[in-house]
């Protein structure tokens, strides 16, 4: 919180939680890992990286 604005920090941790939950569902509970789902996970990760990269 000393480095990132609150909105950025919240988005980063929320994104990590969403991606983590989706990946655990795929790995542990054998949920489908279709291409659109994996692309969506990748887009979330890309958004997190871009958000952190553009934060002051």
Measured from the Cβ of residue 15, the count of other Cβ atoms closer than 10 Å reads 19
pLDDT value of residue 10: 92
Domain ranges of the chain: 6-53
Q: What integer pLDDT is reported at residue 34 of this predicted model?
A: 96
At 18-36, the pLDDT tens digits run: 999 999 999 999 999 999 9
pLDDT at 1 exceeding the cut of 70: no
Residue 43: the pLDDT is 97
More confident residue, 39 or 5: 39
As a whole number of angstroms, the distance between CA 50 and CA 16 comes to 14
pTM for this prediction: 0.83
Q: What DSSP state is assigned to residue 8?
A: H
């Amino acid at each position: 919180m000393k480095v990132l604005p609150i909105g950025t920090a919240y988005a980063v941790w929320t994104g990590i939680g969403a991606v983590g939950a989706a990946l655990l569902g795929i790995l542990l509970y054998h949920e489908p890992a279709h291409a659109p789902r994996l692309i969506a996970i990748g887009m979330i990760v890309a958004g997190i990286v871009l958000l952190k990269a553009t934060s002051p």
